[in-house]
Structure 1
Amino acid sequence: MTTQTYTVTGMTCSHCVQSVSSELGKLDGVQQVQVDLASGAVTVTSAQALDDAAVRAAVDEAGYEVAS
């Protein structure tokens, strides 16, 4: 099991949190997604390390961006 934390920009409300959580939750192996709206920190727990491009694509699909 692995845990990775990303900073996601543009989230302002609980709907934003739900959108990001839902898209990331669709990735293979993802077991849990925790979002701290105030800081933009998104912590993803998964069975194996996730591909950064896949994470960025999922966040982009939700309408947000992973900070560099």
Structure 2
Amino acid sequence: MGEIVVKIPDEIERYLTPALRKRIELETIKEIEMRIRKASRFIKLVEKSELTEEEAEKLAEELKRDLAKRYGVI
């Protein structure tokens, strides 16, 4: 399995207590695990999909557009 490194800017790191550093670490691990579970479920669904390549590309474009709107890019 790969390694994930979280870099904290120096100007913030100097304010972190050991307890706060541990809390950030645990919350980061929890969030990553949740996202991996979601990705795993998504992959299982996609493997069963009967979409054509053209339909999948159209869906991907719609998802990109929706994500861009969600995050205020467009």
Q: TM class by shorter-chain length?
A: 0.3 to 0.5
Say which structure is richer in strand: 1
TM-score (norm 2): 0.30
Say which structure is richer in helix: 2
The structure that has the greater radius of gyration is: 2
Name the structure, 1 or 2, with higher relative contact order (CA <8 Å, separation 6+).
1
